[in-house]
Amino acid sequence: MKVFIDLESTLIDDFDNLNLLEGNINKIKSFLKILNVKEILLWSFAIMNQEDIKKFNESLKDKLEKALELKIEILEIEKCFKDVCKANNISAEPKDLTDIFLFEPKSELLKQWLIVKGIEDHCLLIDDQVEASVFQKGGLILQCLKI
């Protein structure tokens, strides 16, 4: 199982203040322990590029890994966006947020990226903005849970 988790309003208040949301973190930590998850992937529009990844690594990664008791990997949204656009012959730029929202709801970009990457696994997205849903295609299952 691959677990993707949103950052803002799910694990922290926002990427400017970096305050941990302890209530959400405790719920997520307990839930993921039941599933025996050892690592999560951040799926957050707050982390668009390498500059954002650097900020996250320097200011928040250790604190969040300690709070969740898990390893955290980070997906660069700009790169994922470019992968999906290239595979679908879409001309769009990740620097223009309106183009990123071609993939609404937010989980749509993740779904498309998983398909493009050929991932065949049970994937779980935990986010404050998604609707509870399940998508299946071949060996890929994407389950969305709202926190």
Whether residue 84 is predicted with pLDDT greater than 70 in this model: the reply is yes
SS3 category, 10: coil
pLDDT at 100: 60
pLDDT at 61: 96
For residue 94, cis peptide bond before it (omega within 30 degrees of 0): no
C-alpha–C-alpha distance, residues 32 and 11, integer Å: 14
- Its pTM stands at 0.91
What does the block give as tokens for 29?
A: 């930590």
The CATH class, in words, for 2-146 is: alpha beta
**CA distances (Å), origin 22, targets 57, 64, 73:** 19, 10, 20
Confidence of residue 117 (pLDDT cuts 50, 70, 90): very high
C-alpha–C-alpha distance, residues 143 and 138, integer Å: 14
User: Which of 8, 61, 35, 45 has its CA nearest to residue 124?
Assistant: 35
| More confidently predicted of 48 and 42 | 42
C-alpha–C-alpha distance, residues 117 and 143, integer Å: 17
Q: Where are the domains of the chain?
A: 2-146
